[in-house]
């Protein structure tokens, strides 16, 4: 009976120690991150984009001119979850 009581106390202590160590690792990793320069990532809102021709999800070639509408164009590049 004494051993089972000791186990009941020991498991939460181990779990708590694991959580604390994960938090410490996460905190140190967050401090090491560098700031992202958004302007270096590509065209920004309102900037002209270069001409392109890319296949859409159906395999049809689309160009900047082919997708322009009367009110302009919004481009969204999305990485597929099917890598």
Quick: pLDDT tens for 26-68.
655 556 778 888 778 777 877 888 888 989 889 999 998 998 8
61-63 and 53-55 beta bridge pairing: antiparallel
Residue 5: the pLDDT is 55
Q: How confident is the model at residue 8 (pLDDT cuts 50, 70, 90)?
A: low
Taking the C-alpha atoms of residue 21 and residue 13, their distance in angstroms, rounded to an integer, is 12
pTM, rounded to two decimals? 0.40
Residue 62: the pLDDT is 92
Residue 82: the pLDDT is 67
Give CA angle at 82 (75, 60), nearest 5°. Answer: 50
19 and 11 Cβ atoms separated by less than 8 Å: no
Picking from 4, 25, 74, 5, the residue whose alpha carbon sits closest to that of residue 64 is 74
Residue 73: the pLDDT is 83
């Amino acid at each position: 009976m004494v051993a089972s009581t000791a186990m009941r106390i020991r498991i939460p202590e181990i779990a708590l120690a694991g959580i604390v160590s994960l938090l410490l690792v996460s905190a140190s990793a967050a401090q090491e991150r560098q700031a992202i320069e958004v302007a270096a990532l590509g065209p920004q809102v309102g900037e002209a984009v270069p001409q392109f021709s890319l296949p859409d999800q159906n395999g049809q070639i689309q160009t900047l001119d082919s997708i322009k509408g009367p009110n302009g164009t919004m481009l969204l590049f999305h990485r597929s979850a099917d890598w």
